[in-house]
Structure 1
């Protein structure tokens, strides 16, 4: 759990700007759309776009099978809400809601968003209470997505939420890299706070890989497999939990050779 000093640091990092421009600065594909009627939009109460997303990956990689198509669709559906929730909690004073949230679907990719109702401008909630409120919103949104997606293919709730955990951990590291020195030390307790709020396992989310004397690289220790290796052009991710011990050691060794001192 975060201590008082860590909470104070997080509060000092928040900027008096809406979420949308901060999101676009982090990733230009996270753009607030002016007119959603010009796009195919994913909405919690309209499953057609989710079916379209699933069929895209089914047609793009028929060899990978229905488990991959479902997992790939799930990570597409959830990455942007995760990123926006983190920005709202720690980067902006604007507290977002996912009650009237829509996402753009274009050729199998989900990026760009729209709110059908105006958002609350600013909130004085402390970081922990913001996380609690946003986690409840995310849980509701993800329940809708999972219900729609599992009409197309198989995905257990526990696996789906472990994939969300990996997305949280990855985005938290990315945000920490944009913050003042020392912010990376907050990654583990922040991830644990989100996982606890979302009722996901709170096992360590990161792995420190030695690259040189007194130099480590922090990477996400994945808790679920994205099944990318099911594709003909796919392979295991660096810390994929599906790897056996020998494959794991080989992946880490290759990473050290690539990123270590030359």
Structure 2
């Protein structure tokens, strides 16, 4: 069975973003497949296996990195799919029905068993996407909490940075959107995802009048891996640190 035109368009646009974002419709896939993550299907062991693989691959990086990388891998595809669907396809699939393929040290490839999707105004779709992403990520966190403590504050900053990074990419792909429009979209997304609106301030003006750059509020800790450096958008990067205010000395 070939996917509907909406899903064909969604998968094509997703692959143009990155070939790792490879989607398909798989109505007959068994939801309990061990290498697939499905909403409300037990997957704690599968996620822990990914964590342990990252630990073996980068023993020098430490537990904070293994946890951060695991969470980032769980969330990157659903966020990207939401953006591609809304901005490129003007619709939204049921994000909670997404199945994600777990590979060695990585999560790449997704599928939908539910081919239903909704249409509507962009703001409505953003709020629907935010609610579905919250539910999906809460489920992942509950599954991980069976074997490691995962604080909501920790995951929320990574969630927000993932959303804002997609908005920066959107601004690059759609130059007709002004910086103010992208910032307005950022506040919509953050509100929809139950995240603090003030995090939109992480979007900074770029080198020209319409470009934007992100200074993240979270660090992926990849610099702890041997041979790796700080990311350009990392808050720890020297270029992104706020200059200290000079303290004057009073003279009389």
**What is the TM-score normalised by the length of structure 1?**
0.77
Count of aligned residue pairs for this structure pair? 229
Output aligned runs, 1:235-246, within 5 Å: 235-241=229-235, 243=236
Equivalent in the alignment of 1:51 = 48
- Root-mean-square deviation (Å): 2.7
SS at match of 1:104: strand
Structure 1 gaps of 5+ residues are: 1-15, 253-262
d(CA) in 2 for partners of 1:133, 1:78: 17
Question: Match for 1:221 among 215, 218, 241?
Answer: 215
* Alpha carbons 2:72, 2:158 under 8 Å: kept: yes
Q: What's the counterpart of residue 248 of structure 1?
A: 238
Contiguous gaps of at least 5 residues in structure 2: 243-252
Cα offset, 1:227, TM superposition: 1.6
Contact 1:169–1:187, Cα closer than 8 Å, also in 2:
no
Q: For the Cα contact (< 8 Å) 2:203–2:214, is it kept in 1?
A: yes
Misfit runs of 4+, over 6 Å: none
Question: Of the candidates 13, 16, 24, which is equivalent to residue 25 of structure 1?
Answer: 16
- The one of 194, 213, 227 aligned to 2:189: 194
In 2: Cα distance, 1:126 partner to 1:222 partner = 29
The CA deviation string for residues 183-210 of structure 1, in whole angstroms up to 9 with x for no partner, is 554222111211111121222121235x
- Residues 92-241 of structure 1 aligned to structure 2 (within 5 Å): 92-120=89-117, 122-123=118-119, 125-203=120-198, 204-209=201-206, 218-241=212-235
Q: 2:238 and 2:154 mapped to 1: Cα distance?
A: 21
TM-score (norm 2): 0.80
